[in-house]
Amino acid sequence: MTQTATVNYHVHKPGRQAFELDAGGISGNLISPELAPTSVQVMDERRIAPDTTFDQASVGFATYPSKVSAFNETQDWHGSYDAELTDLLTREIDAKEVIIFDHTVRKDDPDAVRKPARNVHSDYSVDGAKQRLIDILGNDTAAEWSAGHYAFINVWRPVGAPINSAPLGFILPDSVAQQDWILLDLIYPDRKGQIMGLAANPDHQWIYRSKMTPDEVAYFNIFDNRGRASIGHSALDMVEDPTVHSVRHSIESRTLVRY
């Protein structure tokens, strides 16, 4: 079974493009490069056999209830949630060491500080990942990790209610051509990074997991120094049930793992 959704692809340009976050010193103010709204067909992962696996598709799904219910700004939940994510990634992808370095709560509300990311992308370029590794570990430890196998993994979870609108969708890596990727700068007030955007390609095969609940997670590869594919992803503009009016609320956690 497929659904129709709208996504915002990036557009190839002659020069380098950039996102500017908190532009002008205003929290939540985002200046974006040109995006191209595009209608795509999306397969429900729950109906795909065999189930989508991390090894095959760089994204996996799991039922993993959390003891944390309120992901508020106090940060007093960070320790217990980080321990849960460490256990999850140890079990699911056989990570030997896990560092959780960022949590982002998103809400599909015009007044929210962080809204769902509605551009088709993956979170790191090669150079961006190398610099982030140094930012987190320092030069010496980063060099040690680089000699082995490491990766950046994102863990995404609904908050409060099942996802009825703007679910998170993924493009199966085997359907992406190398020329679809576009290098983008990511400009923060205090630092600069790089991500990879994706341009439209009718061969892209989109999947999502329908009506994900707060007891479920998606974990997906956003950079791997041994070549596992980074997976393109985006919020999908679609609605599961028009009679349900809950707002999409989610938390994503960026992690650095060593295999």
Mean pLDDT calculated for residue range 122-132: 94
> Residue 23: what pLDDT?
67
Q: What is the dihedral of CA 114, 117, 123, 128, to 10 degrees?
A: -60
Query: In what helix (H) or strand (E) does residue 168 lie, and over which residues does it extend?
Result: strand 168-171
pLDDT single digits (tens) 242-252: 999 999 999 99
Distance between CA atoms of 45 and 60, rounded to whole angstroms? 10
Distance of CA 14 to the CA centre of its chain: 27
Q: Strand 216-224 to strand 35-44: parallel, antiparallel, or no bridges (unpaired)? A: unpaired
Is the pLDDT at 129 greater than 70, yes or no?
A: yes
- Which residue did the predictor score with more confidence, 12 or 186? 12
> Residue 48: what pLDDT?
82
Percent of the chain, pLDDT > 90? 83
Is the pLDDT at 178 greater than 70, yes or no?
A: yes
In angstroms, the Cα distances linking 140 to 21, 90, 96, 99, 127 are 29, 25, 19, 16, 17
pLDDT single digits (tens) 18-49: 988 776 777 767 788 999 999 999 999 998 86
Is the pLDDT at 186 greater than 90, yes or no?
A: no
In angstroms, the Cα distances linking 68 to 31, 81, 219 are 33, 7, 18
Q: Where are the domains of the chain?
A: 2-258
50 pLDDT tier (thresholds 50, 70, 90): low
pLDDT mean across residues, the chain: 94
> Residue 85: what pLDDT?
98
For the chain, what is the radius of gyration of the CA atoms? 18
Of residues 222, 171, 204, 195, the one with CA closest to residue 57? 171
Is the pLDDT at 51 greater than 80, yes or no?
A: no
pLDDT single digits (tens) 220-244: 999 999 999 999 999 999 999 999 9
Is the pLDDT at 15 greater than 80, yes or no?
A: yes
Q: Are the beta carbons of 66 and 84 closer than 8 angstroms?
A: yes
Q: Which fold has domain 2-258?
A: Jelly Rolls (2.60.120)
Distance between CA atoms of 181 and 170, rounded to whole angstroms? 15
Of 20-29, 131-140, 173-182, 207-216, the one with minimum mean pLDDT is 20-29
